[in-house]
Structure 1
Amino acid sequence: MSLISKFVFTVALLQILHSGFSSHEFVTMKQRLAANSDLDLDALFLPRDVQIEAFCGVVLLALSIFLSFGKQEFLPLSGKLKLLKQDGVLQEISINKATNAKNLAGSNPYGEITNLPSFVDIHAKRAEVRRWREEQIQSKA
């Protein structure tokens, strides 16, 4: 856990504990009023600031959990038993350097993205196949 996530976790924990204590005090006060008065106690709800404090505490707790995630470390299955970190295994590369050979060969590195068969003009393709088939039939004759 980093220092920031520990701080956010502490604040969240304090908020949740304080809102829990405040809600316990409210319920205790409501029970005492029920025994001693004729007021309609069903109309008394937990104060809005206690509800907001509990909600903010839960949100901060979730945020602190996400902030605590670190980079993965693991031991390799074969070879030297050295602890590997995530940034030591794969280095970032730029796509223009990685595909330089493919670009020189005329290959499109974005082929899966730019080749959209659903956008092919099917009528033009059928006419092209029809012409090719007629040429094949004429060349055999």
Structure 2
Amino acid sequence: MSVVSKFLLLISTLQLLHSGFSSHEFLTMKKRLTTNSNLNVDAVLLPKDIQLEAICGVVLLTLSIFLSFGKQEFLPLSGKMKLLKEDNLLQEINMNKATNSKNLAGCNPYGDITHLPSFVDIHEKREEVRRWRDQETKQKD
């Protein structure tokens, strides 16, 4: 947990405690007014500053939790018992070196991305097959 995360956690905890105490005080005052007077206290709502303080406390608490996450470390199941960090698990590779054999064979390494059957114009393909079939029948005659 970093220093910034701890500081935000402390501030958010204090804000949430203070807003909780303030809302408790407000509700006790509202109950006293209800029993001692005949004013319409149902229309009196929690003050905006207490609401904003609670919302800011929750936002800061969430932010401090996200800032507290560190990089994960793993112990390998086989081999040397050395801690592996996220950076050591997968190394970056060059796509042209990884697909060298596919490039030599004439395959498209990005074929899964570039060939989308749902975008094929079926009417154009049928017309192309008809032309090919007509050419084949003319060559046989």
**TM-score > 0.5, shorter chain as reference:** yes
Deviates more, 1:116-125 or 1:59-68: 116-125
Q: Which residue of 2 is the match for residue 82 of structure 1? A: 82
Write the distance in 2 (CA, Å) between the matches of 1:136 and 1:14.
84
Which ranges in structure 2 are unaligned for 5 or more consecutive residues? none
Aligned residue number for residue 37 of structure 1:
37
RMSD of the TM alignment (CA)? 2.6
Q: How far, CA to CA, are the matches of 1:7 and 1:107 in structure 2?
A: 55
The range that moved more, 106-115 or 21-30, is 106-115
Normalization by structure 2: what TM-score?
0.80
Matched, 1:11 2:20: no
- Return the TM-score normalized by structure 1: 0.80
**Equivalent in the alignment of 1:65:** 65
Q: 1:44 to 1:9 in 2, by over 3 A?
A: same
**1:31-72, Cα deviation, whole Å (9 max, x unpaired):** 222232222111211111101110111111111111111111
- Cα gap change, 1:95/1:60 in structure 2, threshold over 3 Å: closer, same or farther? farther
Q: CA deviation at 1:139?
A: 6.7
Structure 1 runs, 4 residues or longer, greater than 6 Å off: 138-141
Query: Which residue type is aligned with residue 120 of structure 2?
Result: V
Give the CA deviation at 1:118. Answer: 2.3
Q: CA deviation at 1:12?
A: 1.0
- Between the two proteins, the alignment pairs up a number of residues equal to 141
